[in-house]
Amino acid sequence: MNRTTLLAALPQAVAKLDPRHLVRTPVIFVVWIGSVLTTVLAVLDPSVFGWGVALWLWATVLFANAAEAIAEGRGRAQAATLRATRTETMAVRLKDDGSTETVPGTALRVGDRVRVKAGEVIPGDGDVVEGVATVDESAITGESAPVVRESGGDRCAVTGGTTVLSDEIVVRVTSKPGETFIDRMIALVEGASRQKTPNEIALTVLLTTLTILFLVTVMAIQPLASYSGGLQQVIVLVALLVCLIPTTIGALLSAIGIAGMDRLVQRNVLAMSGRAVEAAGDVSTLLLDKTGTITLGNRRASELTPVKGATDPELAQAAYLSSLADGTPEGRSIVELALSLDRVEGATSAEALAREGAEFVEFTAQTRMSGVDLSDGTRIRKGATSAVTAWVTQEGGTVPPETAQLADAIAGEGATPLVVARAEAGGPPRVIGLVRLKDVVKPGMAERFETLRSMGIRTVMITGDNRLTAAAIAKEAGVDDFLAEATPEDKMALIIKEQEGGRLVAMTGDGTNDAPALAQADVGLAMNTGTSAAKEAGNMVDLDSDPTKLIEVVAIGKQLLITRGALTTFSIANDIAKYFAIIPAMFVVLFPGLDALNIMRLGSPESAMLSAVIFNALVIIALVPLALRGVHYRPGGAADLLRRNLLVYGLGGVVAPFIGIKAIDLLVSQLPGLS
């Protein structure tokens, strides 16, 4: 935080002096009432002490408002960029009869279909239902590289305000005007839609209770002082109250919450609520997808293994032909491997085969295999071991005994086996071999999971692979458990089971089939490249679509909770030193023995009380950078964190005021009327 940032926040801080705003922060509202009261008393009975207390109480309120204003201001730059994308666009809406009409983007409703061509801005959030195109999403993600959006997959969601760079798509609108993704982003980064989280509400209740208790205590002092023959000035009582109540954490509480969400925004993650950020800090179970998260995700064919009775060229030819129309990275790698082995006769293309009458069988989650039916009647299939062997058996074909053994051996090494079967025209199919798909665990994942384990977080890998492959990858990566051959129902059941013990669960997802699990999880991180259903179900969206970012989200959530706890500890601890400054100063005339408590040897009762009030104000602005940046988080157990918290912020909160108040008193005591 620099002087420019502070000066930019001052106008907003002054605007927040409105009591209708301050009443939402009870501690600071009490300080505001004290400021008004001392100002009136200073006007009626002017004195250096009276005006000094009044001015520094106003500074306390202003610094508290500035902390919140600075935190909110950090999101305004991104909000301004987002508003620039929210321009009025015209949309080509498709009618039911096939004709089109041009309407303003604000006239679109959920379910409308619009056609967007290259160079045009997508008028609203939706899903691609026809076509494929490259889209510029730099206004949303900050990434200049275009992305591909296509119908029928998990990368069909598009965001209003982004631009189509090539080709043409038809988009089905999924959001109302004013409720688009960009609108929600603007509200979130500005903090306008931020609501207090459960922990924040609980802490506010605690601070309010302490304030009421100290208020009653201070009110009881005057009758006792009257009985002792020494009435106290109202300004002195107000100064005592303000120094007793936890003003530091009361002033910084809102800024800490806003800054926590802002740290996520800086990492291109949008939290739909502060509750999600807090939940991330309390997560005890982390569900992670294998492909692309734990492993590199670009599984490639590394070996072709024929079974007895089949030859290498026969297997290579069959694997090549069955993969020509497979546009996945795995399918392309099989084609490349077959060609590199020089065992393919008459290399061709999917288009050429289609012209000759071949029919390609696409992969589906139900069949778990794909292939091709050639024009001469030959049928070729490749896919999961269980799926292909079941097809061969149903068709009356043969499955060599070593098929299962070879598949288990490949899976046991952490690779994925694909079985290839071939049926001659009019004949039964037979298994001819296996393809090994090798995936690589990302470097450093074992260390990251060990760090999570030290934080008390259990990691579970979710994969569609068979148990042997999943077990091998899980062992290599160092996760605590795994769920193999996972279906959407399996994910839901696992989350519910984990939550039954009171544990909080986090997971990532991008597809429509992930939506139920994302909604059930306490922290659901949806990928921006995913479907609208996934983004609506989750309570966080990763604009970079990096599944490993869930680990960073958990760290940020823990940092938020630790920062709040650390500053609460510091706030309560530094009140102890203020007692030694103010209490002796108030009653030393009546009870000279209290001078023994004046261990700071402050100049006079008035300078002691004014110094405490000044320190109380200055410590707020001094801690704003820490509240915005967050306390440095080192993974460790709860006991270690508590010990460090008490040592650094508890002991530091006690020591710092002794030094600060004494230094201020040396200056203040030189003022006329305070000596």
**Could you list the active site residues?**
289
Residue 492 marked as a ligand binder: no
Secondary structure letter of residue 398 according to DSSP: B
Residue 290 marked as a ligand binder: no
CB atoms within 10 A of CB 152: 11
Query: Dihedral of CA 316/318/324/325: which sign?
Result: negative
Residue 368 marked as a ligand binder: yes
Residue 459 marked as a ligand binder: no
Residue 326 marked as a ligand binder: yes
State the DSSP string of 349-393.
-HHHHHHTT-EEE---TTT-EEEEE-TTS-EEEEE-HHHHHHHHH
State the DSSP string of 157-202.
EE-TT-EE-SSEEEEEE-S-TT-SHHHHHHHHHHTTT----HHHHH
For residues 278 and 198, the answer to whether their CB atoms sit within 8 Å is yes
Residue 587 marked as a ligand binder: no
For residues 285 and 458, the answer to whether their CB atoms sit within 8 Å is yes
For residues 431 and 421, the answer to whether their CB atoms sit within 8 Å is yes
Specify the amino acid at residue 25: T
What's the length of the chain?
Answer: 675
Residue 109 marked as a ligand binder: no
Cα 525–153–388 angle (5° rounding)?
110
The answer for residues whose C-beta is within 8 angstroms of residue 432's C-beta and 6 or more apart is 306, 307, 309, 310, 314, 315, 318, 420, 421, 422
Residue 100 marked as a ligand binder: no
Tokens representing 287 are: 């569900």
By three-state DSSP, how is residue 411 classified? helix
Specify the amino acid at residue 437: L
By three-state DSSP, how is residue 320 classified? helix
| Alpha helix (H) residue ranges in 413-548 | 445-454, 467-477, 488-499, 515-520, 532-537
Residue 226 marked as a ligand binder: no
Residue 514 marked as a ligand binder: yes
C-alpha torsion 40→44→49→53, nearest 10: 0
| Cα–Cα dist 239/246, whole Å | 13
Residue 369 marked as a ligand binder: yes
Strand partners, 527: 542
State the DSSP string of 45-72.
S--HHHHHHHHHHHHHHHHHHHHHHHHH
Residue 465 marked as a ligand binder: no
Residue 137 marked as a ligand binder: no
Give the residue ranges of the annotated binding site. 326, 330, 363-370, 382, 510, 514
Give the residue ranges of the annotated binding site for Mg(2+). 510, 514
Give the residue ranges of the annotated binding site for ATP. 326, 330, 363-370, 382
